[in-house]
Amino acid sequence: MSDSSTDETMPADADRAEMLPGLAAVPEVRSLLEAVDLPIGRWDAEGRLTFFNPPYVSWARRAPQELRGRTLAELYGDEAWHAARPAFDRGFSGHQAHYLRLLRHLEPPRWARIQVFPERGSNGRIDAIYTIAHDVHDDITAAMALKRSNWLLEQALDNLPWGVIESNADLIITRWSHSAETILGYTETERLGTHRLAMGVPEEERARTLAVYERLLRGEIDSWVEQAQYIRKDRRRIWVEWTLSALRDEEGHVVSLLTFVRDITHQIDTHARLLHRAERDALTGVLSRRAVMERLETALARRTREDRLALCFIDLDGFKQINDRLGHVRGDRLLVQVAHAMQDALRRDDAIGRIGGDEFVVLSAVADLAAAQSLAAKLVEVSAAAGYDLLSGLRVTASVGVAVAPIHARSSFELLQRADDAMYAAKQEGKNRWALCHRRIDGG
């Protein structure tokens, strides 16, 4: 080993004091700089490292003789110098500055915040700058992770099939995601800062919806899921599912309502179609046998002492002949015509179902027997009018039997039986007519 290299690595205290430039030459300052547990370096006007304390040596991962007199670019590369240069320039122009640098010479690399401040000589000139490095790796990586997860969250929220809406404790909207725009038709600009109920919620739903919001805001419930209608900006009514959650601060106060919204119009339509299909007779569109029997059971179960329920049993006359002469397709058409004519003759609360080939049942709440009879008469009349095949001039008519609960029967089975008997009587009497059940429960 040469003498000079010995001098470089371990300078005697006296020699070192002479070698030290600027402020660092003052013994008190030097002791202070060496005692500080942060890497400190002094860079002269040519950007060369002229002083460094012991923490700097271990931080730089170099022997002292490899550090002294070197520029930052020589020590850490051009990329590092590029990051440092603006702050160095500010330091040499008399200002404090700082910059962030990823220290790639460390394994694994770490983020540091480097503070730069000028050293002014006695003549006021700036002879050098000092750098102090702070390890901010954990803060920076935490901030970057937070930023990234926020970014991911935003991306995810925007790409979800769910619209995301957030409103504050005054129900003013503070977030309206991209998907919310797509589903509800209003843009973020139109909705931010407006009241939740200002647009879209149908008039008749407002009071109920507000009551739900208020329960959430008061903390009475934490979440709420419901299906409701919404009027889009283009005035189209859609079905949506709202999932609302109350968000609380650290003290537990509800500060906002987070809402996810999903368009379920398609599901609701499909469900309605399936329900309709199960409930309806495929040919005529009136109720199916099962559905009309269910209505009958329900109506009888709900009937109060005073209520009267008329059941008309309708069987078309001579329908076999229509089929035989005109074929099934034209027969079908006549069936449909008669079914629709009967349906059109009924009131909103009445029900009509097809229970067999050419057999129908009509249910109607009536005031008395006279009303039941006039209903039966009307069914006979409209069937005869509608049951006409224009091409052949052939006609079908209907025979109708009517029984009334609780006058003629109390159970559904009996009521149906009594009406069927009465219909048979009408056929016997010559068809195209109605007959009232003649057997009263009380035997009268």
**By the rule CB under 6 A, 200 interacts with ligand GTP:** no
Q: Which of residues 422-441 bind ligand GTP (CB under 6 A)?
A: 427
Nearest to residue 334, comparing CAs of 402, 276, 391? 391
With contacts defined by CB under 6 A, name the span among 52-60, 311-319, 342-350, 376-384 that binds ligand GTP.
311-319
The whole-angstrom separation of Cα 366 and Cα 407 is 12
Determine which residue in the list 181, 263, 358, 420 makes contact with ligand GTP, applying CB under 6 A: 358
| Residue 321 sits in the site that holds ligand GTP (CB under 6 A) | yes
Residue span binding ligand GTP (CB under 6 A) among the ranges 152-160, 192-200, 317-325, 367-375: 317-325
Among 55, 163, 331, 353, binds ligand GTP (CB under 6 A): 331
421 lies in the site for ligand GTP, by CB under 6 A: no
> Angle at CA 60, nearest 5°, toward 58 and 61?
65
Of all residues in this chain, which one has the CB nearest to ligand GTP in the complex?
A: 357
Q: How far is the CB of 288 from ligand GTP (least distance, A)?
A: 13
Sign of the alpha-carbon dihedral angle for 231, 233, 238, 243: negative
- x/- mask, ligand GTP, residues 282-301, rule CB under 6 A, reads -x------------------
Q: Residue 320 interacts with ligand GTP (CB under 6 A)?
A: yes
Which of 119, 281, 317, 420 contacts ligand GTP by CB under 6 A?
Answer: 317
Minimum separation from the CB atom of position 284 to ligand GTP (A)? 9
281 binds ligand GTP (CB under 6 A): no
Which three-class secondary structure state does DSSP give residue 347?
A: coil
**Under rule CB under 6 A, residue 357 binds ligand GTP:** yes
Q: Which residues contact 204 (CB under 8 A, 6 or more apart)?
A: none
**DSSP code of residue 23:** G
Give the tokens for residue 349: 């609360």
For position 323 contacting ligand GTP by CB under 6 A, the verdict is: yes
> Which residue of 260, 319, 360, 434 would you call a contact of ligand GTP, by CB under 6 A?
319
Of residues 22 and 318, the one with the C-beta less far from ligand GTP: 318
- CA 397/CA 314 separation, integer angstroms: 10
Record the tokens describing residue 192, joined without a space. Answer: 């931010």
Name the pairing type of β-strands 434-436 and 397-405.
parallel
Which single residue is written with the structure tokens 């590092």?
A: 80
CA distance 317 to 306: 35
Taking CA atoms, 21 is separated from 30, 31, 159, 369, in Å, by: 10, 14, 61, 121
Number of Cβ atoms within 10 Å of the Cβ of 319: 20
CB of 315 to ligand GTP, least distance (A): 5
Using CB under 6 A as the binding criterion, the count of chain residues that bind ligand GTP stands at 16
Which residues of the shown chain bind ligand GTP in the complex (CB under 6 A)?
Answer: 283, 315-321, 323, 328, 331-332, 335, 357-358, 427
